[in-house]
Amino acid sequence: MKLDPLQYRDEVLPTDVALVRRIVESSGFFSTAEVEVAVELVEARLSQGTRSGYSFVFADAGGQTVGYSCYGPIACTECSFDLYWIAVEAQWRGLGLGRELLSHTERRVKALGGRRVYVETSSRRQYLPTRAFYLGCGYHEEAILKDFYSPGDDKVIYIRALDMMPKIDGALPRSISDARSRARDCHDAQLPRL
């Protein structure tokens, strides 16, 4: 299937409630309760705005929305973000759209000062393609919480440390705190990335 160039939209509209339901249901992955959670995040954003802590990216191609992501800062952390949801409508999967959407979402996170993106999923066989997707997009497996969802169904946590290497411009640090901040950036940039 030929894909028109993607256009991204951050603004959340009331029509996105039905749209998110349609995209998430199309996956055939999620239980009714999980679909309701996905929809509730959109409703929270619509009613509470940025205070909800949920931001969205919608990917439009050829005049229709074909995928979306939902992300937000993790409370009580300095620069860690959660990727709560990413989904591409079933008929558009496997065309590179998810990778592009994730990459765009990471750029948004970076613009907001984020340095690490966390995402979690189930260890069940059904989620093998989802886990392959995260690994294929530069995430690495950080932790496994045994039997988290149910006996035999672990929670797998992936992370991507966004590249925050400061520009090397040869300029001397302007202050001790500037020097410390540069050192911290360099240290963080060495965190494992795939």
Ligand X SMILES: CC(C)(COP(=O)(O)OP(=O)(O)OC[C@H]1O[C@@H](n2cnc3c(N)ncnc32)[C@H](O)[C@@H]1OP(=O)(O)O)[C@@H](O)C(=O)NCCC(=O)NCCS
Token pair in block for residue 129: 């393609």
Q: Which of 49, 62, 94, 113 binds ligand X (CB under 6 A)?
A: 94
Nearest-CB residue for ligand X: 98
**80: contact with ligand X by CB under 6 A:** no
Q: Which of 39, 118, 130, 158 binds ligand X (CB under 6 A)?
A: 130
Q: Which of 54, 85, 118, 158 binds ligand X (CB under 6 A)?
A: 85
Cα 1 versus chain centre, distance: 25
Q: Which of 14, 62, 136, 166 binds ligand X (CB under 6 A)?
A: 136
Q: How far apart are CA 167 and CA 189, in angstroms?
A: 12
Neighbouring C-alpha atoms within 13 Å toward the C-beta of 70: 22
- Which one, 37 or 165, has the nearer CB to ligand X? 37
- Which one, 8 or 189, has the nearer CB to ligand X? 8
CA-to-CA dists, residue 8 to 45, 63, 136, angstroms: 18, 11, 22
Judged by CB under 6 A, the stretch of 42-50, 86-94, 143-151, 174-182 that binds ligand X is 86-94
- What are the strands of the beta sheet with 64-73, ordered from one edge? 7-9, 55-61, 64-73, 80-88, 116-122, 153-161, 140-150
How many other C-beta atoms are found inside a 10 Å radius of the C-beta of residue 96? 12
- Which one, 2 or 187, has the nearer CB to ligand X? 2
**27: contact with ligand X by CB under 6 A:** yes
Q: Which residues bind ligand X (CB under 6 A)?
A: 27, 29, 85-88, 93-99, 121, 129-130, 132-133, 136
